[in-house]
Amino acid sequence: MCFVPGLDRSVGAGERPLLRWIDLPRERDLSDLIVAPAPTIGEEGGGELSSYLAGLLAQRARHERLRLMYVAATRADRRCISPALRR
């Protein structure tokens, strides 16, 4: 049996970063670092690059939640309980 709490909550939801960045892997152990200033208070989106990075980071967070659920479900003996799945 496994218990997976908190998959419906996002990490650091109340924090406002000064920069948004993502390290995108490439072939041969290389990567591309993309950095953009986060939007200021009251600003919509913060520009195209910042919006693009926000979308990539949100997608990465969704994939990580799915990965955690997959790992928990495949390790469970009989049942896997997640309060987030009861919605």
By C-alpha distance, which of 47, 58, 48, 70 is closest to 22?
58
pLDDT of residue 18: 83
Residue that wins the pLDDT comparison between 25 and 85: 25
Give the percent of the chain with pLDDT over 90.
Answer: 10
Instruction: Tell me the domain boundaries of the chain.
Output: 2-9+17-86
On whether the pTM is more than 0.75, the answer is no
pLDDT band with cut points at 50, 70 and 90 for residue 30: very high
pLDDT band with cut points at 50, 70 and 90 for residue 37: confident
Cβ neighbours of residue 78 closer than 8 Å, sequence gap 6 or more: 1
For residues 63 and 71, the answer to whether their CB atoms sit within 8 Å is no
Q: What is the pLDDT of residues 47-78, one digit of tens each?
A: 888 888 888 988 988 898 888 888 888 877 77
Secondary structure of residue 33 in the 3-state scheme: strand
For residues 61 and 11, the answer to whether their CB atoms sit within 8 Å is yes
